[in-house]
Amino acid sequence: MSGWKPVGPASGWTSMEERVLARWREGDVFRRSVEMRRGADPYVFYEGPPTANGRPGSHHVLSRVFKDIFPRFHTMRGRYVERKAGWDCHGLPVELEVEKQLGISGKPEIEAFGIAEFNARCRESVGEYLDEWERLTERIGFWVDTSEAYRTMDTDYVESVWWSLATLFDAGRVYESDKVVPYCPRCGTALSSHEVAQGYKDVTDPSIYVKFPTGDGLSLLVWTTTPWTLPANQAAAINPSVDYAVVVAGDERLVMAEALVPAVMGDDAVIERVMPASELAGMEYAPPFDLIPGRHVVVMSDFVTTEDGTGIVHIAPAFGEDDMGAAREHGLDAPNPVDRQGLFSATVPLAEGQFVKDADRLLIDDLTTRGRVLREKPYEHSYPHCWRCSTPLLYYAKPSWYIRTTEVRDRMLELNASVGWHPEHVRDGRFGRWLEGNIDWAISRERYWGTPLPFWRCGDCNEVTAIGSFAQLRERATVEVPDDLDPHRPWVDDIPVRCPCGGTAHRVPEVADVWFDSGAMPFAQHHHPFGGPDDLSGRFPADFVCEALDQTRGWFYSLLAEGTLLFDEAPYRNVVCLGLILDADGQKMSKSKGNVVEPWTVIDHAGADAFRWYLFTAQSPWESFRFSLDVVDETRRRFLFTLWNTYAFLVTYASLPDGWSPGDASPPVDERPAMDRWALSRLDATVEHVTARLVDYDPTAAGRALEDLVDDLSNWYVRTSRRRFWRSDDRADTAAAFATLHECLTTIALLVAPFCPFVADEMWDNLVAVHDSSAAPSVHLADWPAPGGRRDEDLEQAMAAAMEATTLGRSARKEAKLKVRQPLAEAVIACPPATARALEGLSGIVAEELNVRAVRFVTDAGGLVEVSLKPNYRTLGPRMGKEMPAMAQTVAALDATAAVTALDAGQSVTVSVNGVEQVLHDEDLLREVRPTEGYAVAEGGALAVGLATDITPELEMEGLARDLVRAIQTARRAADLKVEDRIVLHLDGSARIREAIDAHREWIAGEVLATDLTVGHGVPFTPLHREDGELDAEPVAISLSLA
RNA sequence: GGGCGAUUAGCUCAGGUGGUUAGAGCGCAUCCCUGAUAAGGAUGAGGUCCCAGGUUCGAGUCCUGGAUCGCCCA
């Protein structure tokens, strides 16, 4: 009654995953894994909401599996881990998609179409790919509760956002101001700095050196890359601490910063005179276009640099932040000849109705005609574009709503300091620097599909009232508010409220920045504060969030800003940053390049576990991934198939009729062979290490430790222990082997569970659950393992030496062209005495691996071994300092044999270095040993292995017998026998082969499970299978039948 | 122009606190094993550790400068 399920080949991986998935579904395993820990210490995870109006890509798989591994790990460690999914629903991307569907473009067309219908379409659009998202989420094993997902467009969510905005407004932290903002004329909206950050592109703009004449043939020379701003010019700014030069240029004289003369006018420019900035200040000039009245005067401003240009900056207050600042300082106007669509108004007849960027040419030509342009040159620079529609942004003065984040900047920095960033350098580097340069957060968008700003402005007194809940809205509304209020536009726009002054207030037209929505998720996902006084208890702050590195200025920021403003607390304790997914050549994946690797391709071909393992272990998660199907495939072969084969090996032999079951008695660990104790020691070490690394948010190192363990288990433990699993002459030993391997694989299933939840659960099911109804029915309902206290570092070191000796022995065999099947008389291992003592207990393993009759250790310095010495820099370096090279020479000149003899006798060696006596101990000298002549030798540092190369007739016979066994095993397989089938066997062959059979008859019969073995010409039975072949160029015939 | 990060074998990546001969996988070459077999394994070739200075007895590792690439910001 073994209960084992047969294990298929690793090639059936994806169907295995789907079976496991079905088990989870049927058993409601995810929900149970959460519920099981209810009441325990919560571990708080926040899902950064993706927008589901596009298909999920491989980069989404990256973030989703990282979001999965830590909650799974901490669940197994006993924490209660709620995992609420979330969807970002609002915003420009959604509007753009709908505009495309409707075949319309721009705000006037949207308004003509109707906001109500437009927003209804947006609401539909955000769910368009929800099914595919949920299907992928499930298939990659990302356990998150999609049935209870929060959606930023939900009424409750919007109400929480209103609460937060009203709270900030009432605290005086919201203001409206005319500011120059990055503005997309196509979308008709201002962009936040983190949106601007996403749209930089390298473009070539026309740049010109323009002359601003001041009379008498003298002109200020000004450089600009935005000629279209010149009609709005109001002033020219100079740096107060810079000297300016007058340069002769033909019959003209040009003013510019002295330091920039060579760069602008060449090295042989003639400087007429140099003056301090103060001499220029207040000077008036003729504006480039005499269309708009203004003072057109030289002002002094610190922001002017001499890094490029001419050191004189043209000031158009409506089109630059610095310009606006200078205008305020010097009392200048801020005329704006450009409308909201980015088109010139009638103020500039020359370019009326033209898009500003397109008007550059026209304006430059006009200036050139009038002799105002010194030079024109194309200028390549990085310029911000709209992150969705790619229109070049304009810096443009307009009223906007702001949150005074600058007031809490220092507090944000303080709170940030306590966050565990991964990688650490983001805290003070990328993110910290960004926070230091914090500017007030522009939160308003003049759009449609978003959380409406809950601000109402009175038509009488102009005061603004913030509404923080729907109840408050109902209370103050002058009209009936429906029970099923949709708090979106246009419905809320039609609800006026009473102003305290007695007048009627109407909602301001703007909606909120979508980043404010997502930053509100810690409280809005739970409808705080409307869910009662404890609605955030155990839910704030998060222990862990995780997104791609580009979110530093996005979600990571909006979370921190809102956490600080509203709760005076960092909203997360740990942040894991993720890198970009690139193609195999390191290029960004993009549809236009056609180099996108679809997640489904990877999953269908390699499976989710392989996909996950690759992402977790390929490299530090915050580096870019050079991603392709091939690298996932390689990962899968290397780790998952090795693990699977080891697992399949155990199950195959355990399920044989006289196999093994987990309940069977097995010897206590300290009575098991060294190999078993070694495996368990390695297991305990790995449990400890993997746990520590995962606690520290480092799945890469954790995964690599698991790879090492699985490799050790497969390529050393199983390799050297194979026969123990099917030799039944020592039941206790077989049971020890099974129990050891079973425990290793069971524990590995637990350790692998957060990484590769499918294979882990499949293994757990077959190794544990099917045998023991009291055990956890799924690995994901089990507890994380603890080390079993069986660590034996001496044994681990000794085993490492045994592996090394085996490697060297194989190298020596290769050197001597002696195949492994040919037994040899002896291997001589030359090593220091301590190593020899450690290795002695393992010499049987080494002997078997090297196929030698005996292993002999040679440690003395005489006869068989040559010793040479090297200084141990690690111990001697600090002691000797500058004398170290002299010491190295002294050691090299030492009589190594005598020194080693003394050291082995427990004595020290005294040498003289530059006249000073130095006492050397065993640890100060490193030995290199090698056997002397007569052996095939390979050496590696402190170990050398020699093989006796003489093959006696007896060894030759044994080698032949082994060849014969191999041939018979091949014949067995050719006859399609099961591994446990008994056979009757008849052999025939040359005299030499018959001699080998005679010498090893019993052994051969035992190896191939022959109950009867005959030799000679006539076959005494009707063979099921017959094979004629050659062995060592001599004929051999094998006939066999079932016994 | 500034900030952050990266640069180690043909490719993908490891290399606490400086210390003997810089490692692994893939690929390649040559082989082995055949009771894990639609598998497995070994040995080997392959490296100016981006460059140049500096600190040090000793630098892939620390410092300075530079180059190239990436991300972010002006």
Nucleotide nearest the Cα atom of A1009 (by C1'): B35
Q: Which residues of A796-829 are buried (b: 16+ CB within 10 A; e: fewer)?
A: bebbebbbbbbebbbbbbeeeebeeebbbebbbb
Is the pLDDT at A862 greater than 60? The verdict is no
Higher pLDDT, A394 or A302: A394
DSSP per position, A412-432: HHHHHHTSEEESTHHHHTHHH
Per-residue confidence (pLDDT) for residue A873, from 0 to 100: 87
- Most trustworthy range by pLDDT among A260-274, A728-742, A917-931: A728-742
Q: Is the CB of A1041 under 7 A from strand B?
A: no
pTM of the model: 0.87
C-alpha to C-alpha distances, A22 to A8, A178, A761, nearest whole angstrom: 18, 58, 12
In terms of DSSP bridges, do strands A441-442 and A394-403 run parallel, antiparallel, or are they unpaired? antiparallel
Residue nearest to nucleotide B2 (CA to C1'): A433
Residue nearest to nucleotide B6 (CA to C1'): A623
Q: What is the mean pLDDT of residues A646-661?
A: 91
pLDDT digits 0-9 by tens, A388-414: 677 888 888 888 899 999 899 999 999
Could you give the dihedral angle defined by the CA atoms of residues A136, A142, A148 and A149, in that order, rounded to the nearest 10 degrees?
Answer: -70
The C-alpha angle with vertex A72 and arms to A68 and A74, in degrees rounded to 5, equals: 125
Q: What is the mean pLDDT of residues A792-808?
A: 88
How far is A432 from A617, CA to CA, in rounded Å? 28
Q: Can you tell me which residue has the tokens 């509203």?
A: A566
Whether this model's ipTM surpasses 0.90 comes out as: yes
**Identified catalytic residue from A555, A613, A764, A784:** A555
Q: Can you tell me which residue has the tokens 């056979």?
A: A983
- Å from A914 (CA) to B17 (C1')? 31
Per-residue confidence (pLDDT) for residue A865, from 0 to 100: 65
Q: Can you tell me which residue has the tokens 């060894």?
A: A955
pLDDT digits 0-9 by tens, A88-133: 999 888 998 898 899 987 788 899 999 999 999 999 999 889 999 9
**Identified catalytic residue from A5, A100, A588, A814:** A588
- Å from A428 (CA) to B4 (C1')? 10
- Å from A613 (CA) to B23 (C1')? 22
Q: Is the CB of A531 under 7 A from strand B?
A: no
How far is A449 from A381, CA to CA, in rounded Å? 33
How far is A139 from A601, CA to CA, in rounded Å? 12
- Å from A372 (CA) to B7 (C1')? 48
Instruction: Cis check for the bond before A56: say yes or no (omega within 30 of 0).
Output: no
**Identified catalytic residue from A216, A484, A591, A668:** A591
Per-residue confidence (pLDDT) for residue A195, from 0 to 100: 65
Is the pLDDT at A42 greater than 70? The verdict is yes
Q: Is the CB of A962 under 7 A from strand B?
A: yes
Q: What is the mean pLDDT of residues A963-975?
A: 89
Q: Is the CB of A252 under 7 A from strand B?
A: no
Q: Is the CB of A652 under 7 A from strand B?
A: yes
Per-residue confidence (pLDDT) for residue A192, from 0 to 100: 64
How far is A352 from A196, CA to CA, in rounded Å? 28
Is the pLDDT at A780 greater than 60? The verdict is yes
Is the pLDDT at A931 greater than 70? The verdict is no
Residue nearest to nucleotide B69 (CA to C1'): A586
Annotated active-site residue A555? The verdict is yes
Q: Is the CB of A201 under 7 A from strand B?
A: no
Per-residue confidence (pLDDT) for residue A105, from 0 to 100: 77
Residue A915 · residue A786 · CB < 8 Å: no
Annotated active-site residue A49? The verdict is yes
- Å from A575 (CA) to B6 (C1')? 21
The pLDDT-based confidence of A563 (bands split at 50, 70, 90) is: very high
Is the pLDDT at A194 greater than 70? The verdict is no
**Identified catalytic residue from A49, A182, A185, A384:** A49
Annotated active-site residue A515? The verdict is yes
Count Cβ atoms below 10 Å from residue A459 Cβ, excluding itself: 12
How far is A361 from A790, CA to CA, in rounded Å? 80
In chain A, which residues from 275 to 314 place their CB closer than 7 Å to nucleic acid strand B?
307
Annotated active-site residue A588? The verdict is yes
How far is A494 from A509, CA to CA, in rounded Å? 11
Count Cβ atoms below 10 Å from residue A432 Cβ, excluding itself: 17
Q: Which of A260-264, A684-688, A744-748 has the lowest mean pLDDT?
A: A260-264
Nearest-CA neighbor of A311 among A326, A298, A328, A293? A298
pLDDT digits 0-9 by tens, A881-913: 888 888 888 888 888 888 888 887 878 888 888
How far is A827 from A850, CA to CA, in rounded Å? 8
pLDDT digits 0-9 by tens, A985-1021: 999 999 999 999 999 999 999 889 899 999 988 888 8
The percent of chain A in helix, strand and coil, each rounded to the nearest 5, is 45, 20, 35
SS3 A315: strand
- Å from A624 (CA) to B27 (C1')? 23
Per-residue confidence (pLDDT) for residue A1, from 0 to 100: 46
In terms of DSSP bridges, do strands A916-920 and A200-215 run parallel, antiparallel, or are they unpaired? unpaired
Is the pLDDT at A438 greater than 90? The verdict is no
In chain A, which residues from 1013 to 1032 place their CB closer than 7 Å to nucleic acid strand B?
none
Is the pLDDT at A337 greater than 70? The verdict is yes
Mean pLDDT computed over every residue of chain A: 89
Nucleotide nearest the Cα atom of A804 (by C1'): B42
Is the pLDDT at A448 greater than 70? The verdict is yes
Per-residue confidence (pLDDT) for residue A938, from 0 to 100: 67
Per-residue confidence (pLDDT) for residue A744, from 0 to 100: 96
Q: How many residues does chain A have?
A: 1043
- Å from A493 (CA) to B55 (C1')? 70
SS3 A257: strand
Q: Is the CB of A12 under 7 A from strand B?
A: no
Q: Is the CB of A215 under 7 A from strand B?
A: no
Q: Is the CB of A205 under 7 A from strand B?
A: no
Q: Which residues of A1-28 are buried (b: 16+ CB within 10 A; e: fewer)?
A: eeebeebeebeebbebbeebbebbeeee
How far is A533 from A693, CA to CA, in rounded Å? 37
Q: Is the CB of A682 under 7 A from strand B?
A: no
Q: Is the CB of A430 under 7 A from strand B?
A: yes
Please tell me the number of Cα atoms within 13 Å of A107 on its side-chain side. 15
Nucleotide nearest the Cα atom of A199 (by C1'): B72
pLDDT digits 0-9 by tens, A203-229: 778 889 999 999 888 899 998 888 999
Per-residue confidence (pLDDT) for residue A437, from 0 to 100: 83
Percent over 70 (pLDDT), chain A: 97
Q: How far apart, in Å, do the first and last CA atoms of chain A sit?
A: 25
Nearest-CA neighbor of A742 among A802, A690, A836, A676? A676
Per-residue confidence (pLDDT) for residue A280, from 0 to 100: 86
Nucleotide nearest the Cα atom of A819 (by C1'): B32
The one-letter amino acid code at A490 reads P
Q: Which of A120-124, A466-470, A631-635 has the lowest mean pLDDT?
A: A631-635
SS3 A396: strand
- Å from A881 (CA) to B56 (C1')? 9
Per-residue confidence (pLDDT) for residue A518, from 0 to 100: 94
Q: Is the CB of A820 under 7 A from strand B?
A: yes
Tokens of A552: 């530093």
Residue A753 · residue A779 · CB < 8 Å: yes
Is the pLDDT at A303 greater than 50? The verdict is yes
Q: Is the CB of A674 under 7 A from strand B?
A: no
Please tell me the number of Cα atoms within 13 Å of A369 on its side-chain side. 7
Residues in contact with A326: Cβ distance below 8 Å, sequence separation at least 6, in sequence order: A235, A237, A299, A301, A303, A315, A317, A332
Is the pLDDT at A193 greater than 70? The verdict is no
In chain A, which residues from 463 to 522 place their CB closer than 7 Å to nucleic acid strand B?
none
Q: Is the CB of A198 under 7 A from strand B?
A: yes
Is the pLDDT at A483 greater than 80? The verdict is yes
CA pseudo-torsion sign A191, A194, A198, A202: positive
**Identified catalytic residue from A88, A543, A733, A988:** A88
- Å from A593 (CA) to B41 (C1')? 42
Per-residue confidence (pLDDT) for residue A152, from 0 to 100: 95
pLDDT digits 0-9 by tens, A565-620: 999 999 999 999 999 888 877 777 777 677 788 999 999 999 999 999 999 998 88
| Chain B nucleotides near the protein (CB, 7 A) | 1, 3-6, 12-14, 19-21, 25-26, 31-44, 56-58, 69-74
How far is A637 from A317, CA to CA, in rounded Å? 63
Per-residue confidence (pLDDT) for residue A412, from 0 to 100: 95
**Category of A532 on φ-ψ map: left (φ > 0), alpha (ψ -120 to 50) or beta:** left
pLDDT digits 0-9 by tens, A241-298: 788 899 988 888 999 988 888 878 887 888 888 888 888 888 899 999 988 888 899 9
In chain A, which residues from 924 to 943 place their CB closer than 7 Å to nucleic acid strand B?
926, 928, 938, 940-941
Higher pLDDT, A182 or A725: A725
- Å from A314 (CA) to B27 (C1')? 60
How far is A935 from A810, CA to CA, in rounded Å? 13
How far is A109 from A187, CA to CA, in rounded Å? 11
